């Protein structure tokens, strides 16, 4: 746009908006019995009050900012900011107050100002207060500026956020995390890598949904109130959970901002709309966030019932039979022999089988799955091994990678792999490397295996995945496991055909469609109790599988798997990363406490559980308790249904299945603990323990005393 047109546009905006020349507009307010929201005359979030607690979360800062990619004038600047505080809006309010639908506030920007010049794009923001106190923030962007692409909208933002006493940050990263002192955490960790961003202006940490962030929400909270921040987005588009702290003086970062970031990628002539982002100031503990998110998920959640054996599965041994560089650790002859015996001692009757193909683990995908080693009996030997394992009572999961294409495979070099793989923002093949070391250093550091992800939109790739299902059925396996389909990569695949390269922001939705397609195929072709699983919990993908292989072992002090277990208790979810006999008592206790199944990956899947005797022995005792109290495989209830007098040290979690209920009780790591449980409406019927526990049921409750790393299971009727 030339200078004269820009000046004319400026004059028009000033005439439309008298606030730009000194007039003051009144604030706009929405209010019901739950929440009060006030928007100032400059579009700032002046207040966000929870009526039940009286706390105001807002600090009067701007509600949004956006960024565009600029190719005007023969050069490119990729991230030009447009700031809400530099604009002059027209604000309208519609509807009344009360406990019905409580009206809307509309903030209109017919044109935007960027660095003192007009940017020919419009932004329309709509804020609606819903009867239950949820505040919905909708947006509409239209771009009329040639040679630009509006990449990012950060909205809503709760700036200068006012935290109540004892507030923590709750994320859903890897199922859940809780951090004390959110401002301090962001200030400390928001400069990693050092001075990677504009860290003299602010410090920032982000969580991407979907990736390893399992649900599209996070919260700032204490034990009695919180602010739930979420994108209830049925398209499952990429959303970043943004957390910033700004300095009150140089290098003193104290002013918190929290919000949601979306990626419109709006070219000139285009329009983008979104109405999924919500804020909810509430009274209650962290469970309110899980209930709120699950209530929304129930509007699209359609998980099918899993086979009964999956629900009762205590876990598996996860073993690589042939490794990446041709080393054979185990053969089909070992499946019903030493592998079975090692699991049996631990109370595990299931095997997740890696590296069963001729070229070995993480090598040759996807061609490799269709050739087994003739020297160890080929396909016939595997079919016999599986049948012998099942004859002893075992269940067999057959592994496939659901996304990777080896760049050395014929599928890539001479087949369709090159056409259906991920591309980076230059159009080049995007690659990932997976490597293991042998006895030397050369293989692990130099002779790496290089892969590219397959685009899950490809029907050709989905047809190949169906052939993998056929292979598992033909082998007689009980389940097919597709690795890496349960999460979204931090990167994306790009289309570089237009003026601006465009990333795909809907990868997780396509992975979910792939898993749904595979489940449909299994339902029509496989035996009735045949199962499907994947790696890493993400809400939209988890609904289409029978079980999920976790990405980490969540037993660090800041881990909070209680969130995902409470929000989605019906999904069997494993632990992970217990690879030897280190810190066994606490980690195994903790995993039973929150209802995780065992991922036996001794020495990173290169040995059986016989090589970790302490882990094997502890699992044997834990799984004996699971057999006696099968309700432990039922619905995870966390602390619902009972009271605990010492919850910080004496850890207790409940499971129920109809009339049955059991409570797992253990100590915090490496300390003894005492306390009293009160379980209204139920009678203690039995109890068992690991360690010298004391349990005494009386009229006042159940007195429990546990030694360090002790554990008890209490059964109720």
Q: What is the pLDDT of residues 593-623, one digit of tens each?
A: 999 999 999 999 999 999 999 999 999 999 9
CB-CB neighbours of 6 under 10 Å: 14
What's the helix, strand, coil split of the chain in %, to 5?
A: 25, 35, 40
Q: State the Cα–Cα distance between residues 297 and 311, nearest whole angstrom.
A: 22
Helices then strands, each counted (H, E), the chain:
16, 42
Task: Using pLDDT thresholds of 50, 70 and 90, give the confidence band for residue 2.
Answer: low
Provide the percentage of residues in the chain whose pLDDT is more than 70. Answer: 96
- pLDDT for the residue 439: 87
Checking if the pLDDT of 171 tops 70, the result is yes
- pLDDT for the residue 443: 87
* Mean pLDDT in residue range 254-279: 98
> What 3-state DSSP class applies to 530?
coil
- pLDDT for the residue 26: 61
Contact 145, 496 (CB under 8 A): no
- pLDDT for the residue 74: 85
Residue recorded with tokens 């949820």 = 134
Residue recorded with tokens 């960024």 = 67
- pLDDT for the residue 447: 87
Contact 708, 666 (CB under 8 A): no
Stretch among 11-20, 49-58, 497-506 having the lowest mean pLDDT = 11-20
Ordered by where they begin, the domains of the chain are: 3-297 (2.70.98.90), 308-628 (3.20.20.70), 636-716 (2.60.40.1180)
Task: Using pLDDT thresholds of 50, 70 and 90, give the confidence band for residue 24.
Answer: very low
Checking if the pLDDT of 21 tops 80, the result is no
Cβ-in-10-Å burial (0-12, 13-18, 19+) of 249 comes to: exposed
Please, which residues have CB within 8 angstroms of residue 601's CB and are 6 or more apart in sequence?
A: 318, 576, 577, 578, 579
Beta bridge partners of 268: none
* Mean pLDDT in residue range 221-239: 98
Checking if the pLDDT of 365 tops 80, the result is yes
Nearest to 504 by CA among 432, 420, 434, 417: 420
Provide the percentage of residues in the chain whose pLDDT is more than 90. Answer: 89
Q: State the Cα–Cα distance between residues 274 and 137, nearest whole angstrom.
A: 9
Contact 356, 391 (CB under 8 A): no
Checking if the pLDDT of 98 tops 50, the result is no
Task: Determine the distance from the C-alpha atom of residue 513 to the mean position of all C-alpha atoms in its chain, rounded to a whole number.
Answer: 17
Query: What is the per-residue burial (b if ≥16 Cβ within 10 Å, else e) of 527-536?
Result: eeebbbbbbb
Beta bridge partners of 44: 62
Tokens linked to 21: 């020349």
- pLDDT for the residue 96: 58
- pLDDT for the residue 626: 97
From first CA to last CA, the distance across the chain in angstroms is 76
Interior angle at CA 216, CA 214 and CA 217, nearest 5: 105
Stretch among 23-32, 346-355, 540-549 having the lowest mean pLDDT = 23-32
Q: State the Cα–Cα distance between residues 321 and 361, nearest whole angstrom.
A: 8
> What 3-state DSSP class applies to 39?
strand
* Mean pLDDT in residue range 144-152: 98
- pLDDT for the residue 658: 81
Task: Using pLDDT thresholds of 50, 70 and 90, give the confidence band for residue 700.
Answer: confident
Helices marked H in 368-452: 378-391, 410-413, 417-420, 442-445
Task: Using pLDDT thresholds of 50, 70 and 90, give the confidence band for residue 35.
Answer: very high
Please, which residues have CB within 8 angstroms of residue 372's CB and are 6 or more apart in sequence?
A: 356, 357, 358, 378, 379, 381, 382
* Mean pLDDT in residue range 196-216: 94
Query: What is the per-residue burial (b if ≥16 Cβ within 10 Å, else e) of 701-717?
Result: bbebbbbebbbbbbbbe
CA–CA distance from 353 to each of 59, 128, 342, 553 (Å)?
54, 51, 14, 20
- pLDDT for the residue 101: 54
Checking if the pLDDT of 99 tops 70, the result is no
**Dihedral pair phi/psi, residue 710, rounded to 5°:** -80, 165
- pLDDT for the residue 3: 47
Contact 322, 328 (CB under 8 A): yes
The pairing of strands 479-483 and 531-535 is: parallel
Stretch among 140-149, 172-181, 687-696 having the lowest mean pLDDT = 687-696
* Mean pLDDT in residue range 519-529: 97
Give the single-character DSSP code of 337.
Answer: I
SS (H, E, C) 94-109: ECCCCCCCCCEEEEEE
Contact 137, 125 (CB under 8 A): yes
Task: Using pLDDT thresholds of 50, 70 and 90, give the confidence band for residue 585.
Answer: very high
* Mean pLDDT in residue range 149-168: 98
Dihedral angle, C-alpha 533, 537, 543, 547, nearest 10 °: 30
Task: Using pLDDT thresholds of 50, 70 and 90, give the confidence band for residue 17.
Answer: very low
């Amino acid at each position: 746009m030339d200078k004269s047109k820009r000046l004319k546009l400026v004059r028009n905006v000033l005439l439309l908006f008298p606030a730009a020349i000194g007039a003051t507009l009144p604030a706009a307010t929405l209010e019901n019995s739950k929440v009060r929201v006030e928007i100032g005359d400059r579009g700032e979030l002046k207040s966000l009050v929870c009526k039940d607690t009286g706390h105001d979360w807002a600090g009067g800062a701007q509600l949004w900012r956006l960024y565009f990619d600029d190719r005007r004038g023969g050069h490119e600047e990729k991230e030009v900011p447009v700031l809400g505080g530099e604009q002059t809006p027209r604000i309208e309010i519609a509807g009344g107050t009360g406990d019905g639908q409580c009206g809307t506030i509309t903030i209109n920007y017919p044109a935007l100002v960027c660095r003192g010049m007009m940017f020919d794009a419009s932004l329309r923001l709509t804020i609606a207060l819903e009867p239950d106190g949820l505040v919905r923030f909708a947006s509409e962007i239209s771009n009329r500026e040639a040679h630009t692409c509006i990449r990012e909208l950060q909205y809503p933002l709760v700036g200068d956020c006012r935290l109540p006493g004892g507030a923590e940050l709750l994320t859903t990263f890897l199922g859940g995390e809780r951090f004390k002192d959110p401002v301090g955490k962001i200030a400390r960790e928001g400069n990693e890598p050092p001075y990677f961003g504009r860290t003299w202006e602010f410090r920032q940490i982000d969580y991407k949904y979907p990736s390893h962030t399992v649900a599209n929400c996070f919260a700032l909270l204490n034990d009695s109130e919180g602010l739930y921040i979420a994108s209830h987005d049925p398209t499952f588009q990429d959303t970043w959970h943004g957390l910033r702290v700004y300095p009150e003086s140089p290098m003193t970062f104290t002013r918190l901002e929290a919000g949601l970031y979306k990626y419109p990628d709006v070219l000139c002539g285009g329009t983008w709309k979104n109405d999924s982002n919500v804020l909810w100031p509430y009274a209650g503990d962290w469970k309110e966030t899980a209930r709120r998110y699950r209530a929304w998920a129930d509007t699209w959640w359609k998980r099918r019932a899993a086979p009964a054996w999956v629900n009762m599965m205590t876990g598996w041994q996860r073993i690589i039979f042939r490794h990446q560089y041709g080393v054979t650790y185990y053969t089909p002859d070992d499946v019903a022999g030493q592998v079975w015996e090692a699991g049996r001692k631990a109370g595990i009757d299931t095997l997740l089988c890696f590296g069963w193909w001729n070229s070995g683990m993480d090598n040759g995908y996807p061609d490799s799955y269709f050739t087994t080693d003739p020297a160890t009996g080929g396909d016939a030997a595997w079919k016999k091994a599986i049948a012998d394992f099942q004859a002893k009572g075992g269940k067999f999961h057959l592994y496939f990678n659901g996304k990777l294409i080896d760049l050395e495979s014929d599928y890539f070099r001479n087949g369709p792999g090159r056409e259906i793989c991920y591309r980076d923002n230059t159009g080049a093949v995007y690659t990932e490397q997976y490597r293991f070391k042998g006895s030397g250093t050369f293989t692990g550091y130099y002779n790496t295996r290089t892969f590219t992800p397959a685009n899950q939109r490809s029907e050709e790739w989905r047809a190949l995945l169906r052939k993998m299902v056929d292979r598992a059925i033909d082998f007689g396996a009980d389940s097919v496991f597709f690795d890496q389909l349960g999460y979204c990569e931090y990167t994306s695949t790009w289309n570089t055909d237009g003026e601006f390269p465009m990333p795909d922001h809907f990868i997780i939705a396509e992975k979910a469609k792939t898993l749904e397609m595979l489940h449909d195929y299994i339902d029509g072709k496989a035996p009735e109790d045949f199962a499907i699983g994947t790696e890493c919990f993400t809400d939209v993908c988890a609904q289409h599988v029978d079980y999920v292989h976790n990405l980490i072992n969540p037993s660090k002090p800041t881990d909070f798997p209680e969130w995902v277990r409470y929000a989605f208790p019906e999904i069997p979810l494993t632990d992970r990363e217990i690879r030897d006999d280190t810190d066994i008592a606490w980690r195994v206790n903790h995993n039973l406490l929150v209802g995780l199944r065992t991922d036996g990956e001794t020495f990173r899947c290169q040995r059986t559980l016989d090589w970790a005797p302490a882990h094997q022995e502890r699992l044997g005792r834990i799984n004996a308790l699971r057999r006696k109290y099968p309700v432990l495989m039922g619905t995870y209830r966390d602390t619902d249904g009972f009271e605990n007098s010492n919850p910080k040290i004496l850890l207790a979690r409940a499971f129920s299945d109809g009339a049955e209920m059991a409570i797992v009780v253990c100590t915090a790591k490496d300390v003894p603990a005492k306390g009293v449980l009160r379980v209204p409406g139920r009678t203690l019927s039995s109890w068992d323990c690991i360690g010298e526990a004391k349990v005494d049921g009386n009229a006042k409750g159940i007195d429990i005393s546990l030694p360090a790393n002790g554990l008890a299971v209490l059964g109720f009727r």
